Amino acid sequence: MTSSTLEQSVLTVMKDRKATKQYDPAAEISRDELMEILEITGQAPSAWNLQHWNFLAFHNKESQERLLPIAYNQQQITEASAVIAVLGDLQANENVDPVFDPAVLNGHMSEEIKQALNGQIQAAYENERFARDAAFTNASLAAMQLMLAAKAKGWDSCPIGGFNASQLVEEFEVSDRYVPIMLITIGKAAKEARPSGRLDINNLVSFV
């Protein structure tokens, strides 16, 4: 694939992705394909490469029915082929060793640099507000990557911010290490997504 073809393909996916709210309830996504999308999702960028995300996958009608009232009975929850709860990691500083040790072992990072970065990270995470902000910011990057990956593989999606986060935590016993960021439905559109306008980019950009 040439660079121009690759650019066109990436831009087409970005332009074609729209929030789909009506799904074909008969469409099924395999566990393998869902995991492939999530693996690509995990390639999203993150601060210090700490990968501040975790995913709760609802991939059967029983669990999706349990999720339904938590998401204020939005039918897309049960009609979608799967739903992913994107969680932000409030303790991503604990990922230093599993993230950096392979880099040190393979000679891509010195032990001295690892320790210097670790000092920065642990100091930053003494601030609870920083930890929460970092969880939301970085997990949101992964959420966008998930929707683009799904679209590239022929699936539609929709991000959902309207749900009861505390009920999600309680019902599905989510560790207090994680904070719910959003739900993302994945499936095949039963009805084409409604076109949505965009603000004039010229009014949103200031060159300095």
Domains of the chain, by residue range, sit at 16-89+139-190
Mean pLDDT, rounded, for 187-191: 94
pTM (predicted TM-score): 0.94
20 in Cβ contact with 184 (< 8 Å): no
Task: Taking the CA atoms of 59, 142, 112 and 90 in sequence, report the sign of the dihedral they define.
Answer: negative
Q: Which pLDDT belongs to residue 7?
A: 64
Q: Which pLDDT belongs to residue 2?
A: 77
Q: Which pLDDT belongs to residue 194?
A: 82
Mean pLDDT, rounded, for 90-111: 97
Q: Which pLDDT belongs to residue 143?
A: 98
Q: Which pLDDT belongs to residue 154?
A: 95
Q: Which two tokens stand for residue 103?
A: 């880099």
DSSP codes joined into one string, 3-36: HHHHHHHHHHHHHH--B---B-TT----HHHHHH
Fold topology of 16-89+139-190 = NADH Oxidase (3.40.109)
Instruction: Report pLDDT digits (tens) over 130-157.
Output: 999 999 999 999 999 999 999 999 999 9
Mean pLDDT, rounded, for 18-33: 97
Q: Is the pLDDT of residue 88 over 90?
A: yes
3-state DSSP assignment of residue 148: helix
Cα separation, 204 vs 178, whole angstroms: 33
24 in Cβ contact with 189 (< 8 Å): yes
User: What rounded mean pLDDT belongs to the chain?
Assistant: 96
Q: Which pLDDT belongs to residue 50?
A: 98
